[in-house]
Amino acid sequence: AIGAPAEAEVTHDIGQELLRLRYQQEAKKSKRQTGTLEAQPASTVPGLKPWRLVVKPHPDVASGRYIQAEFAADLAQVVQGKADPEYGDPREFFRRTYLTEGLLDLLVTGVNRLTGQGGDPVVQLQTSFGGGKTHSMLALYHLFSGQIGFSEIPGGEDILERVSEIDDHIEANCAVIVGTAFSATETRRYPDVTTYTLWGDIAYQLGGLEAYQMVEKADLSGVSPGSDTILRLLEDYGPALIIIDELVAFARNLYGVPERLPAGTFDGVMTFIQSLTEATRRSSDSMLLVSIPESDIEIGGEGGKHSLEILAKTIGRIESVWKPVTATESFEIVRRRLFSSEMDYPARDAVIAAFREMYHTNAGEFPTASAGGDYFERMSAAYPIHPELFDRLYQDWSTLDRFQRTRGVLRLMSAVIHRLWSENDQSLLIMPGSIPLWAATVRNELLRYLPENWPAIVDADIDGEESKPYQLDKSIPTLGRYAASRRVARSVFVGSAPSVAAQSVRGIEEVRIRLATVQPGEPLAVFGDAIRRMSQQLTYLYTDGSRYWYDSHPTVNRMAQDRAQDINADLVYKEAIDRLRAVRFSREDFVAAHVAPQNSGDVSDDARARVVVLAPKYGHKKVAGGSEAQEFAKTILERRGNVPRLYRNMLVFIVPDESNSQAWEQSLREFLAWRSIDDEAEQLNLDAQQRKQVATALKRTEETLLARLQETYSWLLVPVQPDPTGPIEYQPHRISGQDSFYERAARRLRQSELLIPRWSPDNLRMELDSYLWRDQPHVGIKQLWEYLAQYCYLPRLYNEDVLLDAIAEGVARLDAPFGYATMVTLDGTYNGLAYGQQASICFDENAVLVHPEVAQEQLEAMQAAQQQSQGSLRHSPSSRTQETFSEPDEPPQPRPITRYHGTVQLDPQRVNREVGTIVEEIIQRLTSLTDTDVEITLEISATRASGFDEAAVRTINENSRTLKFRHHGFEE
C-alpha cells in the first residue's frame, strides 16, 4: 500500500531491535576474530598524552550502545514523542549540536520572522544526502517549542546578539509534515476530527479544530485552498512555523496515480505548495521550511524527478536557499556529537605542538599545507580527529552516492571511536591509519558504500590477521613495532578507495600517506619501507611514481605470483647456473673457476689454484656431521672421476648458505615470472600502466636476484690438514659483504694466508725445515712445487711463480736462507750454485734448492781451490819471465752484436700476466735504446679435436680481420 504510517511505525521498531542485535553479533564476532591484533603502538615522544586521556567520548559512543540509524534525525518520531533524548529532548539536542554559521543564520532568520521583525518567509534546505537538513529543521522546531530558553542553549547568546530584544523563551504554533510518514492513502484521526490532505493536517496542527474548519471543504474534496484562505489561516494562528520534510518523497507517491487518493492528487499538492509559499510571503509572522533533496538517491525515480522540477520552479521563485554545513564546521559538529565538552586543553595543545614540530622539521616529507598556521587551527578544531581523516571523508567518500555527508561521517566515526576506546588505543590522534578495518562494525560501515568485491580486497591486502600487511608487520620487527604496514594500508585505502575510477590522476601521494599515518617520534623511514614492500607484494595495490591506490582489479602482481609458483624447477635451476656463470672473477685471485660441476670429473686436476663454486642444491650450514656442500666438496677433492685427485691443495670451495637458498630460488622465480609477462605483453593486452609496472618490477627483481645471489653464496670451504698424518678438514669461513663472492673469498683467503699470492723466503725456509729437507742436502724445485700443490698441510700458493719469486728473493739476500743450483752432478757438485747473489731461477727437473750449510761448504771449497790456484801461478818462473820481458798483444776488436731474437711459449690461462712481464723485461728495454728497430710478431696456433663450430669460426675470423691480422684462417 502507498503510505502506511502504522505499519511503518511497527516496522521501524522492529528494525531498531534488529539493528541492535546485529551490532551485538558483529561486535562479538569482531572480538573473536581479531582479538590477537596488537593495539596501536604508543607514541615514542615522552610526556604526550594519547587522545583517550585528553577527551572522552559520550557514554553511548564509548560503550557501543549506538546503532547505525541513531544518527538519522526523524522529525516524525520527535513530534510523536518517540525519539531518543539526543533528538527529542531540546536541552540534550542543543547540548550535542554545534551552531554552525549557517544554522545560526537560520535560527536568527526564524526568530526575526516569527517575531514580526523581517527575515525570509520561505527557506529551502538543500544539502547532499545525510547533510543535516532534518537536524536544522529540528533546531527551529525545538527553539519555538517554548520548552527551552536562549540561556539554556550553548551559543544562544550569539542568537540574541543578532536580534532585537526578545524574551528568553519564545513560542510559535508549529505544523510538521514528514513526507515519508504522511500516507497518501490513509487519513489521520485526531480526537475531534479526521484529516485527509497536507493542508487539512497543517491547519489542524496550527490551530486545532477551529483552524481546520477554515480549510475543511478543501480537505474533504482534495482540492487545494487558495492563497487568500491560507493567508487568513496564518494570520489568525501566527506566529506559525510550518516544516515540510521529504516533500518529494510524498509527492512521488501521487505521481502517475490515475484515481484520486485521500491525500488528493499530484497536481493538487503542487498547487497547494505554490499557494502556501505565496501566502507565507504575504504573512507577517509565519515561516515555511521545505527540504529539497540534492542527491539522486533521495530523489527516486521518474516521479521524484518530476516532483523536484516542479517544486524547484514553484518554491524557487521566492525561497531563500540555505546550505547548512561547511566542511570546517563539520569538525565541530562531529566532535560535539561524539565527544564530551570536557577536555584537557594543555595536553591537547602539547600534542598539536609536537605535530607542528614534526611537520616543520620534515617539511619535504609532508604536504606543504600541513606546515601552515591554518592547519594547526584545524587540528585544534578537529581534535582528537586528525584533519586529514575529515578531508578524506568529506572530499572523497562524500562523493559516493550512498554516503550521507554528516550522518555518514558520524556513523563511521562512532564505530571507529567505540572500537579504539574498547581496544585501549594509545594514539595521539585518530588518523586514517588508525581506522580498525579488522573490526566488523567499522568495516561494514565503510564497505557498504563500495562494490561487493571490496571485502575480499580488505581481507587480502589491507587489514586483518590474514592480510599481507599484517603478515609483513609480523615478520619484520621494525615494521611490526609501529604496525607500519597496516597503518599505511588503511591510509591508502581511506585516501583512494572511494573515487579511484573517477580520478584523472590516480592515487594518494606518499607525502599524504605520511600525513595520514605518522605520529611525532616515529621514524619516517619505517613507513617508507612499509609502502615499498607492500607495493611489491600486494595484489590490489597500484603505484605510479610516488602515488599509490587500491583498485578492485588485481594488479599484474597476482599474475606474477601465480606464474612464479608454476615455473618449472628445471628452468629455475638453469637460470641459477647461468647467473652463477655470469659472475666474473679476477685471474689475480684465482687461476680458474669451476662453476656448478655436476660431478668430480668436471673439475680438472691441475697444479694451479682454482676455486670451485658449488650448485645451489649443495647448501651449507653449521651442523654436526657436515653438510651436503662439505660432502660434495670432499668427493671432488679426493677424486677426479674414477681416479684419485693428485693436486688437492690447489682447490677451495665457495658454497651456498642453505638458509638463504630458498629466498634466492624465490627471487629467481619472481624474475622469471616478470620476464615472461614482459615477453608476452602484447598477447596479454597490458595497458600502459601495467607495462610500466612490469618494467619496474623486472628491474626490481633483477636487483633483488643479484643481491640474494651474493647473500646466498656466503660460505668458503677451505681444505686444511692441521696434522700431516690426520684427515683433511673442511674449514668453513663466512664471507659477507656487498661485492662479488669471488672477491670476498679471495680477500678472506689472503687475510688468513690460506691462498698466498706472494711468499716470504723465510716462510719457505720454515716449511723446508719442518717437512721437506728430510736430512737431504737439497730438494728439487719442481718436486717441491709438486709437494706444495698436493698436500693440504703445506701452504697453498697461487701458482709456481709464487714459489720461484720467493726462491729468487731468498737466494739474492746476503743472509740467504737457502741456495739454488741449476743441477746436481753425479759426484754431488752443484752447478750454477747461487747463494747470497742474484740468480735466474729455472723451473725444470734439474734445478734444486740447496741447504744453506751445504751451499756454504761448496762455496768455501771453491774459494779455497781458487786461491790455491792463484798462488801457484804467482810463484812460477816462466810466468815471471813473461811478465818482465813479453810485450802485450793488441786486444782483438770485438764484433758488434746487432740482432736479438726470441721465441717463447705462453700459457693460454696466464697470457695476460706473462705478456705483461715480457713487455716490461724485454720489449721496453729494447725500445728504450736509441736507433733500435723492434719488430714483434704474435703467432697463435690452436687445435681442437672435436672441431670448431660455425659460430666460433665466424666470430674469430671477423675479429682477426678487425684486428688487422696479416694471415689467419682455419683448416681441416
∠ CA 885-886-889, rounded to 5°? 155
367 is a domain residue: yes
Confidence of residue 69 (pLDDT cuts 50, 70, 90): very low
Q: What is the CA radius of gyration of the chain?
A: 49
Helices (H), ranges, 583-687: 628-638, 658-679, 681-684
969 is a domain residue: no
Check whether residue 545 and residue 662 sit in a common domain: no
Q: Give the pLDDT of residue 434.
A: 94
Check whether residue 534 and residue 573 sit in a common domain: no
| DSSP-derived secondary structure letter, 791 | -
Q: Give the pLDDT of residue 731.
A: 93
Check whether residue 106 and residue 211 sit in a common domain: yes
Q: Which of 749, 773, 789 is the last residue of a domain?
A: 749
426 is a domain residue: yes
Other beta carbons within 10 angstroms of residue 235's beta carbon come to 15
Check whether residue 406 and residue 296 sit in a common domain: no
435 is a domain residue: yes
Query: Tens of pLDDT along 620-650?
Result: 987 666 789 999 999 999 999 999 999 999 9
Q: Give the pLDDT of residue 322.
A: 55
The Cβ-side half-sphere exposure at 183, using a 13 Å CA radius, reads 16
Q: How many domains does the chain have?
A: 5
Cell of 519: 605520529
Check whether residue 789 and residue 813 sit in a common domain: yes
CA 84/CA 72 separation, integer angstroms: 11
816 is a domain residue: yes
Other beta carbons within 10 angstroms of residue 206's beta carbon come to 24
Could you tell me if 172 and 151 are in contact, meaning their C-beta atoms sit under 8 angstroms apart? Answer: no
Query: Tens of pLDDT along 26-63?
Result: 544 444 444 444 555 555 578 899 999 999 998 888 88
Cα-Cα-Cα-Cα dihedral sign, residues 614, 617, 619, 624 = negative
Check whether residue 821 and residue 921 sit in a common domain: no
Check whether residue 677 and residue 717 sit in a common domain: yes
744 is a domain residue: yes
Check whether residue 708 and residue 695 sit in a common domain: yes
Strands 715-720 and 729-734: antiparallel
Domain range for 293: 59-95+101-324
Could you tell me if 829 and 814 are in contact, meaning their C-beta atoms sit under 8 angstroms apart? Answer: no
> Strand 240-245's sheet: what is its strand order?
173-178, 240-245, 286-291, 122-125, 320-322
Nearest CA-CA partner of 410 in 484, 329, 337: 337
| pTM over the 0.75 mark | no
- Which of the given ranges, 610-624, 684-698, 754-768, has the highest pLDDT on average? 754-768
- CATH number (domain holding residue 131): 3.40.50.300
Check whether residue 527 and residue 625 sit in a common domain: no
Cell of 784: 717441491
Check whether residue 707 and residue 763 sit in a common domain: no
Residue carrying C-alpha cell 651456498: 656
Check whether residue 176 and residue 302 sit in a common domain: yes
Q: Which of 729, 749, 769 is the last residue of a domain?
A: 749
Residue carrying C-alpha cell 611490526: 480
Q: Which of 554, 588, 616 is the last residue of a domain?
A: 554
Query: Tens of pLDDT along 324-382?
Result: 566 667 778 888 889 988 999 999 999 999 999 999 999 999 999 898 888 999 999 89
366 is a domain residue: yes
DSSP string across 895-958: PP-----------GGGHHHHHHHHIIIIIHHHHTSTT-------------TT---HHHHHHHHH
Query: Tens of pLDDT along 371-397?
Result: 888 899 999 989 999 999 998 988 888
CA 650/CA 732 separation, integer angstroms: 17
Residues in the chain, total: 972
Check whether residue 545 and residue 402 sit in a common domain: yes
Q: Give the pLDDT of residue 22.
A: 52
14 is a domain residue: no
The DSSP bridge partners found for residue 717 are 653, 732
Write the single-letter amino acid at 442. Answer: V
Cα-Cα-Cα-Cα dihedral sign, residues 806, 811, 816, 820 = positive
